Structure 1
Amino acid sequence: MLILMTFLTALAALLFLGVVAAALVKIAATLEKIGGDGDSYLARLRLGLRAIERETSHLPAAAVPLNRGLSQVAAGLQGVDDALGGLHAALTAQERR
């Protein structure tokens, strides 16, 4: 009886491995259809992403000076905001008279 149970267990394990192998072959075939050829959607997407990466590769180097310049603009605009706030307060006070 022990030999029969061992044989059936080994047979079940081989059957399980066969099913897993068949499923993996199907998955690989599907993935090959999606991205295996040079004209597939995945290949086109990859080409587009590389083009975007190439076109935007200079942005990290330009961001620091741009950020400094925008900080100076923000400081200047704060002065404009203060001046306009004072002007608004003066006009409101004059209107009440």
Structure 2
Amino acid sequence: RRRGVPTPAPVVAVAPPVASASATVLEVRAHDAPGLLHRIGRALDGAGVRVRTAHVSTLGADAVDAFYLTDAAGRPLSARRAGEVAAAVRAALG
């Protein structure tokens, strides 16, 4: 990160249900920084969801990640629960 150059705020979004029939897809786009994936992982753990798979990539200075989430029973999250999890990840990324 260069001094004096602001970085864009992280974007955390729940993908439409058609993205996966077996999990809820949470998309995270943020400026890449040390510990970014750790903060996301801790937020997901704290929210009590399971990560079925994660697709993590870095494009230039940005991280573009997709997490396929389920509840404890292995089902996709409800829309309300997915919104709560997205909010928890947003808070963790500050």
TM-score (norm 1): 0.18
**Higher fraction of helix:** 1
| Bigger radius of gyration among the two | 1
**Higher fraction of strand:** 2
Tell which has more relative contact order, 1 or 2 (C-alpha 8 A, sep 6+).
2
